[in-house]
Amino acid sequence: MAENYPLSLKASLVFEQSYGGIEGDSASSAELYALLSAISGAALKQSLAVTGSVNQFGEIQAIGGVNEKIEGFFDVCEQRGLNGSQGVLIPEANVKHLMLRKNVVEAVKTEKFHVYPIKTVDEGIERLTGMRAGQPDARNHYPEDSFNGLVQKKLSELAEKMHQFAQGAEQGGQRESKA
């Protein structure tokens, strides 16, 4: 995102590598989606649960306990009332491991609940926001009306503000106040 200007944002995500109990890096994609949502200002659908590890290339990697995670979210949705908008984003690599309870399978067949296998962060962003992710052009600029375009625009604005702040500091701290 910041190949054309300095990255003026610092964010920390926890990519835990412990694999006992419920700990692990299964939430790393969810953490990344939350961060990108905050940067872009685009809301994420709250009717969808997310699981999946993400690597440095934006690929969603397999996780453990996929059946239990899907069934756990399904149970919550069923108790609150299935409305057809609820579902779970899972790594496509986990599809071969699915062995869901009959009531979950039936809800998926009747489209009262959904299981969305995804390969990349961009696929997840599109599902979670309803916006296209967008692909960069030859100059590494994303389309302005795409999700990645919103992220890039915000990062560019932050870089410009940082530049303006640094110029003010170089001039003895006298920055112009805009009222």
Count CB atoms within 10 A of the CB of residue 149: 19
Cα four-point dihedral sign 36, 124, 62, 104: positive
Q: Is 69 a catalytic residue?
A: yes
SS3 41: coil
**Residue 122: which of 151, 155, 101, 144 has the closest Cα?**
151
> Torsion over CA of 57, 59, 60 and 63, rounded to 10 degrees?
-70
Pairing of strands 48-50, 53-54: unpaired
CA distance 169 to 167: 5
CA distance 107 to 89: 16
Q: Is 45 a catalytic residue?
A: no
Which among 26, 28, 37, 146 is annotated as catalytic? 26
CA distance 15 to 48: 21
Which among 29, 37, 69, 112 is annotated as catalytic? 69
CA distance 34 to 43: 9
Q: For residue 46, give the amino acid letter.
A: Q
Catalytic sites, residue numbers: 26, 69
